[in-house]
Chain A
Amino acid sequence: MASTSAAGPSNNKPFQFPPHYAFPPFFTLQPTLSTRTSQLHSWSQLIQAYCRHHHLFSLTLIDALATPLFHNAPLRRQLSARDARAIVDWMSSAEGDSRAEWIGAAPKKAAATAAAAADGDEDTRGRFWVFWRKPEEWAGVLEAWVDATGQRGSVLTLYELAESDATANQEFHGIDAELLQRSLMVLVKRGKAQMFGGEGEMGVKFF
């Protein structure tokens, strides 16, 4: 299912599902616009909260369908692949606040895949980012951490940032390397950091 480690800081307590999760129609995507919007918001929040709780940064659709996130076993209700895809599509749109993004699909291709998804479940194996924090927000978090620990001006490897004991109690501990790079690139663009190094061993210097 998820791509990265499952050892999060708050993993001891079971995830508290929202009340909608126990309501059977929640698992049918509504045709009425206002109801549908409300439902999509609820789903978006649920997915983000679930991923935050389990410290997941991306999901694979086909695998996630079987997890408790999309499958309420005691209620015997399950979200269909098509509806789940619609929810992720909505989350990645501007309307959904870009809280998700299909991995490996350019924005233009997304439309094509959406069309393909309509007639077949070919694309359900697609992975998608769940931005319970967006790259910009991650950048802010990283910068704040660097500031707080007085490491401005020093050089850190990406591995250090993600996996070292020093960041063990940070939210970005165990962050996906690709997402970490994207977040740092935001800082680079702002002129707050500089990245260097090559394959496998990349470093970053904060200004």
Chain B
Amino acid sequence: MFLNQLDLTTALRPSLLPEETLLFVQDAVGLYEGKYKIPQYQNGHAYLTSHRACYVDNEEPRKHSVAINLKDVEHPEFYAGFLKSSPKITFYPKPSKRLSLSTRGPPTLSGNNATSSPVSITPERYGSPLRTLASSPAPAPPTSATWVCPICSFSNPVPSNFDPATANAHTPLPPCLACGIKPPLVHVVKAAITAMTNRQSSPIAPTPQRAFNDHGNFLSTAGLSNDLAASAPTTSVQCPRCTFGNHPSLLSCEMCGASLISIADKRLELARNIGRSDSPGPSLTNLPLQGESIECIKFSFRGGGEKIFYERLKNALVQRKWLLQSAPPIPKPNRLSGVFDDGYVTGSDQNERDPERNKVVGIAGLERRGLEQRRNNELMLGTAFEDLEALMTSAKEIVALAESFASQANLGTNGNSEASALLSQSASALGLVTTKDMLRSGSDSLYVSELSRNLAELLTDDTRGILKREGGIITLVDLWALFNRARGGVELVSPTDFEKAARLWDKLKLPVRLRRFKSGLLVVQGRDRTDEKTIASLLSWFRELHSEPPVGEVSWDWRLFGRGVTAQETAERFDWSVGVASEELEMAEEKGMLCREQGLDGLRFWENWLVNMPADCIEG
């Protein structure tokens, strides 16, 4: 299966595998299967990780989310967009699967398509070369090789049944469609051969079975487009102001400083209202995801961002992080000699192989071992920071080292546990947290929504149990401090962004919510914790107070009325902060469930017997 089920975190983001890192996020993305839109997969977020390319739907994220494992991807293809057709990135599955498919006969999918949307197979916009390219990866690429008429220079299709190998002077040739002059045989043969060689020169040629498909057409433009895609549009991003070709990962023009993103953004604003109902692509009526007959999957980038996505995708495909898990650690220089170990030998093996080390025992041996260890660390740090590439490849080791440093520092100072917990957290947070440069920073809304998901993840993470520790409710300010500390001092989040992110929880249907108390205090709590539940828990506590005698002599009938509680007592009872407790009490009071008593010793809250007197009380 090319498309895989995607597990989502509580914040509706793809849950990352160990070692997996998030590379890029883009919103306003739709999915195509072949050249057909996949229904219900038309408005979502695309997440690019080191292992996968994921699509998460905006409307029904749990239902309509898929991932493509990059290891299954043969090669990606870029299409820059044309007029109303959005830029797209096409993922082709590994050929082995396609081979087995095509031997099974014509793909079931194309049959589906033919019935569901009877689009004529020949492209409607013949005159547009880009359009032709765009449709080339479709199940039945309609175009074949072309020959250019030497008389009128019109591009004619090479006949479908034309085979350059068997062609001779007697092979009937159709005249030029424009001027009606028959072409010379050599000319047509040349064109056909060029087309074939183009196709074969692409990294891995489509299988011959596929070349002659249902219609017997030559599949030539697929190869052609590969070449074009690799060379033309992806290597640089043209500045809209000065037309300077910038590197795709740049966010503003190197020459004139103009934002490379704003243009796309403005279009996005417009497009958001329009929707994609008028998108030129046809759409599938049924879902082909379960089927194995997937020719290719396209990500359509309606909100821009496709260039950076493609750039990072190519890098991810080159790096092949998914191989890392089984791969040997990076070569380590052998002790003293400086010769690089092959790295396959584990520590214990090394000990056995090293007679020298075993000879030195006792304190000297310990000291020596410590020295070696330090030298080793030094070397690793030295090589790791040599350049960025090296850091990337040895990131795993460095993180492990950092963690061990952290634990050592903790041992040495015997410091407070919170600080050490934060230290170790910060290491793991490095790979976890959305930073501004992971996204196109021009698009603030995307950054904020990702931040919002990030926050929700942090809050619902059971291993940290932030909300539980705070009694299920935490003030926004406390959370902000906690969050920034968890980020370990890098990429701090501004309070404005933070509040904006928190306000998005409702819209993104995340499992936490932001609540404003009457006094304006903003707190964060789980979505399942409603006012009704809070009141119910408060009232059940009050009912308990009817049966337990209060401390000291009281002048009222505590069996009947229970007793009044202060915000302090409530905070202790429910593990809330005092501010939250008093706000919750006032909320319950406002709902008419509690009433207050302003005494000399402060404000106390009671069950509201003012409105409903207990029945037995009225009789007595």
Contact A19 B610 (CB under 8 A): no
Q: Which of B584-620 contact A (CB under 8 A)?
A: 589-590, 592, 595-599, 604, 606, 608-611, 613-614, 617-618, 620
Q: Is the CB of A30 within 8 A of B556?
A: no
**Cβ–Cβ contact A31 & B596, under 8 A:** yes
Q: Are A23 and B561 in contact (CB under 8 A)?
A: yes
Roughly how many angstroms separate A27 CA and B596 CA in the complex, as a whole number? 10
The listed residue (A19, A32, A76) touching B613 by CB distance below 8 A is A19
Whether B555 sits at the interface, judged by CB under 8 Å, is: yes
How many B residues touch A, CB cutoff 8 Å? 25
A22 within 8 A of B: yes
A32 lies within 8 A of B595 (CB): yes
CA distance A76 to B620 in the complex (A): 21
B556:A42 contact, CB within 8 angstroms: no
Residues of B with C-beta under 8 A to A20:
609-610, 613
CA distance A27 to B620 in the complex (A): 21
Bound state CA distance, A30 and B611, in angstroms?
A: 11
A81 → B minimal CB distance (Å): 14
Judge whether B597 and A25 touch: CB under 8 Å.
yes
- Tell me if B557 is interfacial: C-beta within 8 Å of chain A: yes
Q: B610 and A75: CB pair below 8 A? A: no
Bound CA span A75–B553, Å: 11
Q: How far, in whole Å, are A27 and B599 apart by their CA atoms in the complex?
A: 9
A45 to chain B, nearest CB (A): 12
Q: Which 10 A-B pairs have the closest CB atoms?
A: A25-B597, A19-B617, A28-B598, A38-B611, A25-B595, A75-B555, A28-B597, A25-B606, A39-B610, A24-B597
Alpha-carbon distance between A76 and B589 when the two chains are bound, in angstroms = 24
**B206: Cβ under 8 A from any A Cβ:** no
Question: Known contacts A28-B597, A35-B610, A35-B611: does B592 contact A22 (CB below 8 Å)?
Answer: no
> A38 near B610 (CB under 8 angstroms)?
yes
Closest partner residue, chain B, to A73 (CB atom): B555
Task: State whether A74 touches B598 (Cβ < 8 A).
Answer: no
Give chain B's interface residues, CB within 8 Å of chain A.
555-557, 560-561, 564, 589-590, 592, 595-599, 604, 606, 608-611, 613-614, 617-618, 620
- Report the interface size class on chain A: 20 to 34
A23 touches B596 (CB 8 A): no
Within 8 A of B (CB), among A7-38: 19-20, 22-28, 30-32, 34-35, 38
Separation in Å of the B561 CB from the closest CB of chain A?
Answer: 6
Instruction: Given A25-B564, A28-B597, A76-B555, check contact A19 B618 (CB 8 Å).
Output: yes
Nearest CB of chain B from residue A82's CB, rounded to whole Å: 11
Q: How far is the CB of B610 from chain A (nearest CB, A)?
A: 5
Q: What separation, in Å, do the CA atoms of A176 and B102 have in the docked complex?
A: 110
A173: min CB distance to chain B, Å: 31
- Nearest Cβ distance between residue B620 and chain A, in whole angstroms? 8
Contact B595 A35 (CB under 8 A): yes
Which residues of A from 25 to 66 have beta carbons under 8 Å from B?
25-28, 30-32, 34-35, 38-39, 42
Residues on A with beta carbons closer than 8 Å to the beta carbon of B611: 34-35, 38
- Tell me if A's interface is mostly helix, strand, loop or mixed: helix
11 pairs, A vs B, C-beta closer than 8 Å? A19-B614, A22-B560, A23-B561, A25-B606, A26-B610, A28-B596, A34-B592, A34-B611, A35-B610, A38-B610, A38-B611
The A-B contact count (CB < 8 A) is 66
Note all chain A residues with C-beta closer than 8 A to B557: 22
B606 touches A24 (CB 8 A): yes
Question: Complex: how many Å from CA A28 to CA B603?
Answer: 10
- A25 adjacent to B556 (CB under 8 Å): no
For the complex formed, measure the closest distance between the CB of A152 and the CB atoms of chain B, giving whole angstroms: 43
Q: Which residue of A lies closest to B605 (CB)?
A: A25
Across-interface contacts of A24 in B (CB, < 8 A):
556, 561, 564, 597, 599, 604, 606
Distance A30 CA – B595 CA, assembled complex (angstroms): 7
Contacts of B564 in A (CB 8 A): 24-25
12 new A-B contacts at CB < 8 Å, known A25-B595, A25-B604: A19-B617, A22-B560, A23-B561, A23-B609, A24-B599, A24-B604, A27-B597, A30-B589, A32-B590, A32-B592, A38-B610, A39-B610
With a cutoff of 8 Å between Cβ atoms, the chain A residues found around residue B556 in the complex are 22-24, 75
Question: How far does the alpha carbon of A38 sit from the alpha carbon of B609 in the complex, in Å?
Answer: 10
Q: Are the C-beta atoms of A25 and B555 separated by less than 8 Å?
A: no
Given A24-B564, A35-B595, A76-B555, the answer on whether A30 and B617 have CB atoms closer than 8 Å is no
Structural contact, A74 and B610, CB atoms closer than 8 A: no
- A27, A32, A34, A75, most chain B CB atoms within 10 A: A32
Q: Is the CB of A30 within 8 A of B610?
A: yes
Residues of the A chain whose Cβ atoms lie less than 8 Å from the Cβ of B555: 74-76
A3, B608: Cα distance in complex, Å = 36
A34–B589 Cα distance when bound, in Å, is: 10
Query: From A74, which residue of chain B is reached at the shortest CB distance?
Result: B555
Question: Out of B590, B596, B618, B620, which one reaches A25, CB within 8 Å?
Answer: B596
Nearest residue (CB) in A for B597 is A25
- A30 to B590 CA separation, bound complex (whole angstroms): 10
Residue numbers in A under 8 Å from B598 (CB-CB): 28
Within 8 Å by CB of A23, from B590, B606, B618, lies B606
- Interfacial chain A residues near B613, Cβ < 8 Å: 19-20
Residue of B nearest to A76 (CB): B555
Name the distance in Å between A32's Cβ and chain B's nearest Cβ: 5
CA distance A42 to B609 in the complex (A): 11
In the complex, the chain A residue whose C-beta lies closest to that of B620 is A19
State whether A30 touches B596 (Cβ < 8 A). Answer: yes
Residues in A neighbouring B589, C-beta threshold 8 A = 30-32, 35
Q: Measured between alpha carbons, how far is A42 from B595 in the docked complex, in Å?
A: 15
**C-alpha gap A20/B611 in the complex (Å):** 10
Assembled-state Cα–Cα distance A26/B592 (Å): 14
Q: Report the minimum CB–CB distance from A26 to chain B (whole Å).
A: 7
Which residue from chain A places its CB closest to the CB of B555 in the assembled complex? A75
The distance from the CB of B538 to the nearest CB of chain A, in whole angstroms, is: 15
Min CB gap B322→A, angstroms: 60
